[in-house]
Chains A and B, each alone.
With several copies, the nearest count.
Chain A
Amino acid sequence: MVAESSPILSIELNGLKLKNPIIAASGTFGYGLEYVPLGDLSKLGGMVTKGLCMWEEKGNPPPRICETPAGMLNSIGLENIGIENFITEKLPQLIQYDTAIIVNIWGREIDDYIKAAERLDAVNGIAALEVNISCPNIKKGGLTFGTDPSVTFELVQQVRKRTSLPLMVKLTPNVTDITLIARSAEDAGANALSLINTLLGMEIDVSTRRPSLANITGGLSGPAIRPVALRMVYQTARQVNIPIVGLGGISSLADVIKFLLAGASAVQIGTANFFDPTICWRLVDELEEYLRNENISDVNQLVGAIIEE
């Protein structure tokens, strides 16, 4: 039996509707415009901007990246053009595309997040905010916001009050129990969760005896971390009632399906954009084809459909 009608690819993330579950991940897709020569942004479920803050951030000194086995480390240091410049220089071009533009925001203290949320709330063309809570909190001695459930709760709650945009809270994997943080974010009013951000790692150049990154440590991403990401998505999906967007090392259709089966309603593609720059577009086609071949009428039927004895 061959399905006559096209399978349904669209998904709903508790207030954020996407035409398909394929989203380009923050920091790996620039401000979107960098990828315009490679494909039509309107085909994608969505895209997340590079992490933005209320000021122009220079970021860390180079070298900022280095390759590791099946992965890479980065310590960009959240360089960005600032929310104002984004709104005036990038957004007008971006909104010409029919895709969900998700703005990733961050700060050094809760007040930075609040200001960012307030500023973006009124802006036309933004589909949702992704709140990156994997940054060091200068008020708490550099401890990452997202490693403490109560700090997470407070941060999300404050941001929640400032905006009616859907909030996707992006969790860090560098914690003992990610489900605790996930529940705090849920309780504080997050619409959805995205996980995972990078694992903290390090590399040393033996010939110079120096760290390979000027910043010494950096974030590990790419296929190497996929098993950790998949486990965290699986665990978290069992502990929260809001939708989950899975990411971490996704580089093929099979990977996309693994994350859906584990409980993600959508996925983000990060590092794979670097070594396979047209992957996001291809995944949309491949997913549709897969659903057709498997006679699945709606992609939502895959979400959480892992089989356990």
Chain B
Amino acid sequence: MQKQESIAPGYWLLSLHSPQIASAAAPGQFVMLKIDKSFDPLLPRPMSIHSVIKEDNNRIGFTILYKVMGKGTRLLSEKRSGESLVVIGPLGKGFNLNHISSGCEPIVVGGGIGIAPLLFLAHKLLERGWTPSVLLGANSQQELLRLDEFESSGLIPKVSTEDGSKGVKGMVTDLLGSYLEDRKGVHGEVFACGPSPMLEKVASQAKEYGLNSQLSLEQRMACGLGACLGCVVRIRDKEGSQLSFQRVCTEGPVFNGEDIIW
């Protein structure tokens, strides 16, 4: 654990030193982080890789952006630099960029703390030659996080807040709606992370406009390794209609919007 800073009330940015994890990491992947030696809380917590830290062009560590939700994240926020944390990763399948063509327009959509995996994704897209559109939403201006980092990469996120304190007043799905309406027929792919109702909406919006969507899902986890079968979500079988349970930690956390049964 290198350092930890509060970037907004209740939101923390944690920097961890780990060349191994950093060099293997792909956007959308996550780590399992055991917050404390004690048995309370017992289980490690899944956290997306928010960005990689480089030194002389070598990946030496990574950051985690998190929101204080309950016992675990509260305790984590009380840790100070110098303490060591047990972390395993990178885990899961990240966003799939292999099938998207160079002419495709990536649309990156984040709601609330859902922006966590999206900065790394945006960086990767830029590196590979795409310039994604970035749409971010939050409750209020205060909770619109990391805009500077997107901007300093040359991206200009469109933003919305529910209280109207910054950008468009409303939800990020409203932003996405007008965005897609404005460019009907665009050849693009939607990458999204955020609360479940938002993702459900994003999936149906993307579908409506004929776009593929890749959504990063959450589920409570125990092992993160595919062993406990605790983290499943409902996914449509290859055949298309049958229900199957797939593991967020192994088959996910990123799933195709069309395959998810909400």
Contacts and interface: CB of A to CB of B under 8 A. Distances in A.
A62 B227 contact: no
B229 interface: yes
Contact of B42 (A72, A74, A79): A72
B42 A70 contact: yes
Interface size class on chain B is: 20 to 34
Interface string B226-241: 1111111110000000
Interface stretch (A4-12, A27-35, A145-153): A27-35
Contacts of A275: 34, 42-44
Given A27-B228, A34-B226, A61 B34 contact: no
Nearest to A37: B225
Interface string B197-219: 00000000000000000000001
Among B39, B88, B245, the most chain A Cβ lie within 10 Å of the Cβ of B39
Contacts of A45: none
A178 B245 CA distance: 34
A222 interface: yes
Interface string A35-67: 100100000000000100000001101111111
A223 B226 contact: no
A28 B228 contact: yes
Given A67-B43, A70-B40, A275-B42, A28 B34 contact: no
Nearest to A78: B229
A304 interface: no
A65 B88 CA distance: 20
Contacts of B232: 59, 62, 64, 79
B76 interface: no
Contacts of B125: none
Contacts of B1: none
Contact of A67 (B42, B86, B225): B42
A289 interface: no
A274 interface: yes
A277 interface: yes
A71 B40 CA distance: 8
Interface residues of A, number: 34
A276 interface: yes
Contacts of A50: 227, 229
Given A58-B244, A62-B232, A63-B219, A69 B226 contact: no
A65 B227 CA distance: 13
B222 A79 contact: no
A273 interface: yes
A271 B220 CA distance: 15
Contacts of A61: 234, 245
B24 to A, nearest CB: 11
A73 to B, nearest CB: 10
B44 to A, nearest CB: 6
B41 interface: yes
A28 B227 contact: yes
Interface string A55-99: 000110111111101111010100100000000000000000000
B227 A29 contact: yes
Given A61-B234, A63-B219, A273-B223, A223 B39 contact: yes
A277 B88 contact: yes
Contacts of A69: 39-40
Interface in B59-105: 86, 88
A59 B245 contact: yes
Contact of B228 (A67, A223, A274): A274
B233 A62 contact: yes
A211 to B, nearest CB: 13
Interface in B40-65: 40-44
A210 B39 CA distance: 24
B230 A74 contact: yes
A248 to B, nearest CB: 14
A189 B43 CA distance: 38
Contacts of B226: 30, 34
B170 to A, nearest CB: 25
Interface string A220-263: 00111000000000000000000000000001000000000000
7 contacts: A59-B232, A62-B219, A62-B233, A70-B42, A76-B228, A79-B245, A274-B43
Given A65-B221, A69-B40, 16 more contacts: A30-B227, A50-B227, A50-B229, A58-B243, A59-B229, A74-B228, A74-B230, A76-B228, A76-B230, A79-B229, A79-B232, A222-B42, A223-B39, A274-B223, A275-B43, A275-B44
CB-based closest 8 A-B pairs = A30-B227, A65-B230, A70-B39, A34-B227, A274-B222, A69-B39, A274-B223, A223-B39
Interface of A: 27-30, 34-35, 38, 50, 58-59, 61-67, 69-72, 74, 76, 79, 222-224, 251, 271, 273-277
Interface of B: 34, 39-44, 86, 88, 219-223, 225-234, 243-245
